[in-house]
C-alpha cells in the first residue's frame, strides 16, 4: 500500500483541478484547506474523500497534516507570501513535498534555504512541479542527452499558441506574476547562479513555424540542468507569453533593481487590490484550444547548436494538475531518489519522467 497523500489548497482553482486529476488516477488524497464547507462539497462530489482543516496563518495546523513518508502537495499561493508553512511542515516531518509554484524567489528559497534542512531530516522537496517548470527541465535533459559531450549552454523557451477569446490566467497566477514583477530573480551564467531581474535578455525561438520573442526568467532549470551536465556554463530560461510586449518587459528590467527596494508586503497588497475583481478561474474558451510549446537548445562553447528538443502539451493548468497527480502517486507508491531539494529528473529518473510527462500530455512535437 502506498504512502498517504495530502493536498493542501484543495478548494482553489489549481487545487481542485489537481484533486480531479488524482481521483481520475485512482488516488484518494486527503483534502486540506481552511474552508470547511467547500472542502466538504468537493470531497462529497469526488466520492467521499477525507478532509482536514489547515490554514497558513496557523502553522501548527499545517504541520499536523503530514508525518514521515507522507506526500504533501501544496497549491496554496502566492508562494512567496503563503508557501513557507507547507514546505516547513514537510521538512520537519521528513515527508515528500510537491508544489505548483512558478515563482522564482520561492524556488530559489526551496533549493538554497530548505534543501539543506531537508537533507538532514530525509525530506524530499520537489518545488515547481507543474507547467512551471517540469516540461523545460525534461526538454533540457533530453537535449543534453542527445548532444553528448561538449555542452556549454542550454536555452529553454516556454510558449503558448491557439488561445481563444478571454483571459487565459487564473486570479492566483496573476497575483503571483504581480508579486514577483518587482523582485530580483536569477540566472545561471559562468558556471554559477547570478542575481538579475526578469527580462534581462531577450531572443527569438522558432515555434510552430514562426519566430516568437521571449525574455529571461528564473526557473527550475538553472538548478536542475547543471546537475545533469556539470560542465554547463550557462542555462537561460525564456518566457514567451508576452508576444510583442516582450520588448517592453525587456526594457523594464532596467528599473527592477529600484522597484525591488519596495516593501514586498505593500506590493502584495496592491496586487490583491488590482486582481480582486478577477474571477478565480481563467476563461474556459481561452484554454479550450490552447497548446503549450517547450523548446530546449544545447550549444557548445563556440555557439554551435548541438541538439534541439521540442515538446508540446495541452494548456498550462491541465499540465500542472496531471503532473502533480502523477508525481504524488509515483512518490507515494515507489518513493523518490534522494532527499533535499530535488528536480523531476533527479527524483524519478529521465526515462520514468518521460513516461509520466506523456501521461500528462507532454510529448515530442511532431513538427
Cβ(354)–Cβ(48) below 8 Å: no
Which whole number is the average pLDDT over 48-70?
A: 96
Which whole number is the average pLDDT over 88-106?
A: 97
pLDDT at 128: 98
pLDDT digits 0-9 by tens, 202-255: 999 999 889 999 999 999 999 999 999 999 999 999 999 888 778 877 776 666
pLDDT at 177: 65
Structural domains for the chain: 5-130+318-360 (3.40.50.720), 134-315 (3.30.360.10)
> What is the rounded CA–CA span in Å between residue 24 and residue 347?
23
Residue 67 — very low, low, confident or very high, per pLDDT cuts 50/70/90?
very high
Do you find a cis peptide bond into 185, omega within 30 degrees of 0?
Answer: no
Is 294's pLDDT higher than 90?
yes
Cβ(320)–Cβ(131) below 8 Å: yes
Q: Is 191 helix (H, G, I), strand (E, B) or coil?
A: coil
> What is the rounded CA–CA span in Å between residue 346 and residue 344?
6
pTM as predicted: 0.92
> What is the rounded CA–CA span in Å between residue 76 and residue 90?
14
> What is the rounded CA–CA span in Å between residue 298 and residue 302?
11
pLDDT at 180: 63
pLDDT at 288: 82
Which whole number is the average pLDDT over 312-330?
A: 96
Is 15's pLDDT higher than 70?
yes
pLDDT at 257: 59
Q: Give me the phi and psi of 232, to 5 degrees please.
A: -60, 140
pLDDT at 170: 72
> What is the rounded CA–CA span in Å between residue 64 and residue 61?
5
Residues 6+ apart with CB under 8 A from 231: 151, 152
Phi-psi region of 292 (alpha: psi -120 to 50; beta: other; left: phi over 0): beta
Query: Is residue 178 exposed (0-12), middle (13-18) or buried (19+ Cβ within 10 Å)?
Result: middle
Is 106's pLDDT higher than 90?
yes
Is 1's pLDDT higher than 50?
no
> What is the rounded CA–CA span in Å between residue 175 and residue 77?
9
Residue 176 — very low, low, confident or very high, per pLDDT cuts 50/70/90?
low
Interstrand relation of 51-53 and 30-33 (parallel, antiparallel or unpaired): parallel
> What is the rounded CA–CA span in Å between residue 178 and residue 176?
5
Residues 6+ apart with CB under 8 A from 260: 182, 183, 184, 197
Residues in the chain: 367
Cell 520588448 sits on residue? 247
Do you find a cis peptide bond into 78, omega within 30 degrees of 0?
Answer: yes
> What is the rounded CA–CA span in Å between residue 274 and residue 18?
26
Is 135's pLDDT higher than 60?
yes
pLDDT at 285: 76
Q: Among 95, 161, 106, 114, which residue's Cα sits nearest to residue 133?
A: 106
Q: Is the dihedral of CA 76, 293, 328, 84 positive or negative?
A: negative
pLDDT at 262: 53
Residue 30 — very low, low, confident or very high, per pLDDT cuts 50/70/90?
very high
pLDDT at 241: 85
Amino acid at each position: 500500500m502506498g504512502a498517504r497523500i495530502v493536498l493542501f489548497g484543495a478548494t482553489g482553482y489549481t487545487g481542485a483541478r489537481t484533486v480531479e486529476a488524482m481521483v481520475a488516477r485512482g488516488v484518494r488524497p486527503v483534502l486540506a484547506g481552511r474552508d470547511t464547507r467547500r472542502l466538504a462539497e468537493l470531497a462529497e462530489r469526488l466520492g467521499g474523500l477525507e478532509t482536514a482543516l489547515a490554514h497558513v496563518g496557523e502553522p501548527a495546523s499545517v504541520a499536523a497534516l503530514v508525518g514521515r513518508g507522507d506526500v504533501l502537495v501544496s497549491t496554496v499561493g502566492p508562494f512567496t507570501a503563503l508557501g513557507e508553512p507547507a514546505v516547513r511542515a514537510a521538512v520537519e516531518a521528513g515527508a515528500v513535498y510537491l508544489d505548483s509554484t512558478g515563482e522564482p524567489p520561492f524556488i530559489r528559497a526551496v533549493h538554497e534555504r530548505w534543501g539543506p534542512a531537508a537533507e538532514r531530516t530525509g525530506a524530499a522537496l520537489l518545488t515547481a512541479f507543474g507547467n512551471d517548470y517540469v516540461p523545460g527541465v525534461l526538454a533540457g535533459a533530453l537535449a543534453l542527452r542527445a548532444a553528448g559531450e561538449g555542452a556549454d549552454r542550454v536555452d529553454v523557451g516556454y510558449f503558448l499558441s491557439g488561445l481563444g477569446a478571454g483571459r487565459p490566467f487564473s486570479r492566483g497566477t496573476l497575483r503571483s506574476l504581480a508579486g514577483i514583477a518587482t523582485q530580483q530573480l536569477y540566472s545561471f551564467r559562468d558556471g554559477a547562479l547570478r542575481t538579475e531581474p526578469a527580462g534581462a535578455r531577450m531572443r527569438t525561438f522558432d515555434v510552430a513555424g514562426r519566430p516568437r520573442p521571449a525574455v529571461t526568467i528564473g526557473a527550475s532549470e538553472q538548478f536542475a540542468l547543471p546537475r545533469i551536465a556539470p560542465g554547463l556554463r550557462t542555462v537561460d530560461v525564456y518566457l514567451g507569453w508576452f508576444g510583442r510586449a516582450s520588448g517592453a518587459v525587456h526594457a523594464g528590467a532596467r528599473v527592477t533593481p529600484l522597484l525591488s527596494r519596495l516593501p514586498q508586503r505593500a506590493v502584495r497588497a496592491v496586487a490583491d487590490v488590482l486582481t480582486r475583481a478577477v474571477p478565480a478561474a481563467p476563461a474556459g474558451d481561452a484554454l479550450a484550444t490552447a497548446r503549450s510549446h517547450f523548446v530546449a537548445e544545447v550549444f557548445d562553447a563556440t555557439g554551435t547548436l548541438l541538439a534541439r528538443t521540442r515538446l508540446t502539451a495541452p494548456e498550462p493548468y491541465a499540465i500542472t494538475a496531471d503532473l502533480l497527480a502523477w508525481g504524488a502517486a509515483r512518490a507515494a507508491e515507489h518513493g523518490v531518489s534522494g532527499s533535499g531539494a530535488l528536480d523531476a529528473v533527479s527524483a524519478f529518473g529521465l526515462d520514468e519522467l518521460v513516461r509520466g510527462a506523456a501521461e500528462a500530455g507532454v510529448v515530442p512535437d511532431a513538427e
